[in-house]
């Protein structure tokens, strides 16, 4: 049972346009949502996050929107740049028994920004 | 400030063997987590260590075990390797109790033949 879903495996956009990456989740116990970017042969790097008590968080070209009633979040990149081409993972955090924190990841989406 | 480092970067083993993967946490971080990323999938939580004790575990069998040392570095041990254990193993460090993101290493690519 996949608790975090990224239903589109890939997205291709033109440089300068908006990229919108979507993510759906099923578990209401998630309290924090994060986006990670991954280049080949590297580990995931943190991009932006949002607490479950907020509906928007912005950092430069990156904005994450959270719709709790729909259990949906999206990442907007404006304007998109060729260097943004990577695999993007949506992740959700929940506290487990014993106080540990774990992230539940989606399968990822490959973004290609064409010059 | 040094980041999360993992060794080795690549490893080839045969079915039934045992493997040990190593991770050095980012400076100032006291918690380490291990994730398995199979091809075409997102990372899956294996377990987390805090104060040298396992502090949460995902859906992985007991042949996956770990250690955390006083300097917060960590090892992941996998016994009786199976073909399906072939994956990228990612180590991530953080500070326990803080609402902070995980910092990942570049991973160890394990191939089981």
Write out pLDDT tens, residues A9-56: 999 999 999 999 999 999 888 989 999 999 988 899 999 999 999 999
What pLDDT does B28 receive? 82
Peptide bond into A79 cis (omega under 30): yes
Instruction: Considering only the beta carbons, identify the residue of A43, A97, A108 that sits closest to B104.
Output: A43
What pLDDT does A99 receive? 63
CA A85 to chain centre: 14
Instruction: Considering only the beta carbons, identify the residue of B41, B56, B102 that sits closest to A100.
Output: B56
Cα A80 from Cα A78, distance rounded (Å)? 5
A101-113 mean pLDDT: 93
What pLDDT does A29 receive? 87
Give B106's contacts in chain A (Cβ within 8 Å).
41-43
Whether pLDDT at A97 is above 80: no
What pLDDT does B94 receive? 86
Which residue from B85, B106, B75 is spatially nearest to B13, judged by alpha carbons? B85
Give A49's contacts in chain B (Cβ within 8 Å).
101
Cα B95 from Cα B77, distance rounded (Å)? 23
Instruction: Considering only the beta carbons, identify the residue of A41, A46, A102 that sits closest to B101.
Output: A46
Distances in Å between the alpha carbon of A90 and those of A23, A45, A106?
6, 12, 5
Does A44 contact B58 at a Cβ distance shorter than 8 Å?
no
What pLDDT does A102 receive? 84
Cβ of A41 under 8 Å from any chain B Cβ? yes
In degrees and rounded to multiples of 5, residue A106 shows phi and psi of -80, 180
Cβ of A54 under 8 Å from any chain B Cβ? no
DSSP state of A68: T
Decide: B93 and B101 in contact? Cβ < 8 Å: no
Decide: B77 and B49 in contact? Cβ < 8 Å: no
User: What is the secondary structure of B20-53 as a DSSP string?
Assistant: EEEEEPPTT--EEEEEEE-TTS--EEEEEEETTE
Report pLDDT digits (tens) over A55-89: 999 999 999 999 999 999 999 999 999 999 999 99
Residues from B in contact with A at Cβ < 8 Å: 4, 31, 33, 35, 40-45, 48, 50, 55-56, 58, 90, 92, 94, 96, 99, 101-107
Q: Tell me the residues of chain A between 90 and 109 that have a Cβ less than 8 Å away from chain B.
A: 91, 96-108
What pLDDT does A98 receive? 60
What pLDDT does A101 receive? 73
What is the maximum span of chain A, computed from C-alpha positions, in angstroms? 48
pLDDT in tens, chain B (113 residues): 568 999 999 999 999 999 999 999 988 888 899 999 999 999 999 999 988 999 889 999 999 999 999 988 999 999 999 999 999 999 999 887 655 678 999 999 999 99
Cα B91 from Cα B22, distance rounded (Å)? 9
Q: What 3-state class would DSSP assign to A98?
A: helix
Does A96 contact B56 at a Cβ distance shorter than 8 Å?
yes
């Amino acid at each position: 049972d996949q608790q975090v879903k990224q239903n589109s495996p890939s997205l291709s956009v033109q440089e300068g346009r908006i990229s919108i990456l979507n993510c759906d989740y099923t578990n209401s116990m998630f309290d924090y949502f994060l986006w990670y970017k991954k280049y080949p042969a590297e580990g995931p790097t943190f991009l932006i996050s949002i607490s479950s008590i907020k509906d928007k968080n912005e950092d430069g070209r990156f904005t994450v929107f959270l719709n709790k009633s729909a259990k949906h979040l999206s990442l907007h990149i404006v304007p998109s740049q060729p260097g943004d081409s990577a695999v993007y993972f949506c992740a959700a955090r929940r506290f487990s028994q014993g106080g540990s924190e774990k992230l539940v990841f989606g399968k990822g989406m490959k973004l290609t920004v064409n010059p | 400030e040094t980041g999360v480092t993992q060794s080795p970067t690549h490893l080839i083993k045969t079915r039934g063997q045992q493997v040990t993967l190593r991770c050095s946490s980012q400076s100032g971080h006291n918690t380490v987590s291990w994730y398995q990323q199979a091809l075409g999938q997102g990372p899956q939580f294996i377990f987390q260590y805090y104060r040298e004790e396992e502090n949460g575990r995902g859906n992985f069998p007991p042949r996956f075990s770990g250690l955390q040392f006083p300097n917060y570095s960590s090892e992941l041990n996998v016994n009786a390797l199976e073909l399906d254990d072939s994956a990228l193993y990612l180590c991530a460090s953080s500070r326990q109790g803080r609402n902070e993101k995980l910092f990942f290493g570049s991973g160890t690519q394990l191939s089981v033949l």
